[in-house]
Amino acid sequence: MSQVTHALGRSRSVGALLVLAALSGCGGATPEIAQYVERLDRGPSLDSGGRLSPRWSRRLAPDLEGPYLPIERSVPCLDGAHDRMYVGSSAGQVWALNGAGGRVWMYQAGGGIGAEPTLSLDGETVYVGSDDGFLHALRAHDGSLLWRTEMRGALGDAPLATDDAVYIATENDVIEAFDRASGDALWRYERQAPEGFYVTEHAGLTLSDRRLLAGFTDGAAVALDPSDGRVLWVRDTAADLAPNTSDELRFTDVDTTPLAIDGTVYVASFAGGLYALEPSSGSVRWLRNEWTGVTGISAAPSGQLILSSGDHGVVAVRARDGERLWATPVRRGAPTATQVVGDLVVYGETEGGLVALTLGRGREVGRLEDGHGFAAEVALDHGLGAAISNTGTLFVFAVR
């Protein structure tokens, strides 16, 4: 199968560290969805520039009230085979829209939606987690509820669906597996996170070679048997940190969704750096401890990895050894996890716009601004991009 790649006293707000871990929980899309050019709303619009071209926008959350902007973290799920996209918002609604932005259905989940919905492999069911701790299974064609189950903790990451099971991680370090058809619980794995301050987001899940890979706020990267939740190996990245002799606050979380490519698993500790791990045992092949603040890792052609870092910006490194190829600073805020399409790297700035860089040198060649920032990761497929801004507005654009 391809990659679908807080303990008491913790703080869920760490300044500008609002970067989403990269994950992809949506079914494969086809080019048809990119053919729509109709613009629906007269509301907030993007200033166009370079190789990113606005198509249409639609407001999904209520008009802003009060002095504070909400942080929108939901990622659209693009399903071009059925001319659909699925997306939630902090208002607690899950929307199904067609390729031109028209409403197909809307489901009221209750709690806010802070992750990407997941489409089942047969395209019949949408799975989505909500911040109030419920996992919802919806019929993809009409949004009717098939089943709903409650977990102990907010669900801010995309579910991962296989032929017979759905896996999801909570933000308080619990992973649980459910029967895909009935919602019955299959198994549960939990780690006890230490008290303290942690980066806002949580690592998502990756299934690779019969291993369910995850990261946790105590600094552990873990491989589980997806059939029963049995622990296959644990890599404690916090053990590699030098003793902290100052009063400086260090975040030891593994917030990156594990990336498994070419027989290597890549994860990053926020304070400890970038790891390349042996998939069968979790042993360390190499560690580059200079790459701190990393919250997203993406694969790129020609043996490259693209890192999203609050400390270094967007960075391209060699996958074989972590050596730097180029680095581009972020103008405003921190970068979201990146998406690589053709010769471009596309991401959002938490306090700025949507940005396109050249894959070869990291040179900026496109930028779309809405004035409020993008804390949510961009979704891309076959030249179509979609992202929800912190105003609760879904923007759809073409990548040229």
* Interval 327-338: pLDDT, tens: 999 999 999 999
47 or 337, greater pLDDT: 337
Which range has the worst mean pLDDT, 159-168, 239-248, 278-287, 369-378? 239-248
Residue 261 structure tokens: 């490519």
Q: Residue 88's domain is classified under what CATH number?
A: 2.130.10.10
Mean pLDDT of 41-65: 73
Q: What is the structure's pLDDT at 266?
A: 98
Total domains in the fold of the chain: 1
Contact 127, 83 (CB under 8 A): no
- Write out pLDDT tens, residues 303-332: 999 999 999 999 999 999 999 999 999 999
Mean pLDDT of 215-219: 94
Predicted TM-score of the model (pTM): 0.87
How far is Cα 161 from Cα 120, in angstroms, rounded to an integer? Answer: 6
Q: Cβ of 136: how many Cβ atoms within 10 Å?
A: 26
Q: Answer yes or no: is 299 within a domain.
A: yes
In sequence order, the 6+-apart residues with CB closer than 8 A to the CB of 343 are 358, 359, 360
Mean pLDDT of 117-135: 96
Q: Answer yes or no: is 20 within a domain.
A: no
Contact 78, 69 (CB under 8 A): no
Closest C-alpha to 265, from 308, 233, 226: 233
Question: Looking at this protein, which amino acid is placed at residue 305?
Answer: L
Percent of the chain predicted with pLDDT > 90: 72
Which range has the worst mean pLDDT, 8-12, 208-212, 227-231? 8-12
394 or 383, greater pLDDT: 394
Q: Answer yes or no: is 9 within a domain.
A: no
Q: Answer yes or no: is 7 within a domain.
A: no
Which range has the worst mean pLDDT, 12-21, 149-158, 164-173, 200-209? 12-21
Range of the domain at 273: 31-399
Q: Cβ of 7: how many Cβ atoms within 10 Å?
A: 15
Q: Answer yes or no: is 4 within a domain.
A: no
DSSP string, 113-175: --S--EE-TTSSEEEEE-TTSEEEEEETTT--EEEEEE-SS---S--EE-SSEEEEE-TTSEE
Average pLDDT score over the chain: 86
Q: Answer yes or no: is 26 within a domain.
A: no
Phi, psi of 158 (to 5 degrees): -65, 135
